[in-house]
């Protein structure tokens, strides 16, 4: 079973709709991240969380919100979706300390906003 799962894997929605993307992990990591990937732009950080009570904005947080419901769950919401939020969204996790820099990525959610 995958350690980091994302649901849904694909979603098509209309402008103005509220959308929630979910991420769950079984790795027991404290740190979780949401990125979006756009062609030619690489990955850009939207939000990150170091634990349930510690949530921080990334470089492109406008138009997004997050919820860390538990250590294992980190959801990304688009309150009112717009077409330029069409992208591939990735969740990632990382353990606290332990001397490792490795982030573990989920398989991604492809979101299309019409």
- The residue from 17, 52, 105, 112 that contacts another protein (CB under 8 A) is 105
Q: In angstroms, what is the minimal distance from the CB of 103 to another protein?
A: 6
Q: How many CA atoms lie within 13 A of 21 on its CB side?
A: 33
- The residue from 45, 53, 65, 84 that contacts another protein (CB under 8 A) is 45
Return the range that interacts with another protein (CB under 8 A); candidates 14-22, 40-48, 60-68, 76-84.
Answer: 40-48
Identify residues 50-89 at the interface with another protein (CB under 8 A): 50, 58
Q: Which is nearest to 27 in space by CA: 47, 55, 53, 1?
A: 1
SS3 80: coil
Per CB under 8 A, 42 contacts another protein: yes
For residue 41, CA distances in Å to 38, 67, 68 come to 5, 26, 27
């Amino acid at each position: 079973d995958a350690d980091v799962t994302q649901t849904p894997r694909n979603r098509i929605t209309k402008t103005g709709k509220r959308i929630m993307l979910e991420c769950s992990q079984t790795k027991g990591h404290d740190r979780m991240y949401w990125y979006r990937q756009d062609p030619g732009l690489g990955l850009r950080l939207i939000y990150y969380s170091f634990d349930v009570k510690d949530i921080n904005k990334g470089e492109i947080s406008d138009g997004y919100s997050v919820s860390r419901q538990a250590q294992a769950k980190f959801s990304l919401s688009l309150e009112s979706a717009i077409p330029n939020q069409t992208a591939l969204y990735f969740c990632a996790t990382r353990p606290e300390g332990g001397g490792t820099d490795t982030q573990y990525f989920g398989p991604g959610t492809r979101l299309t906003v019409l």
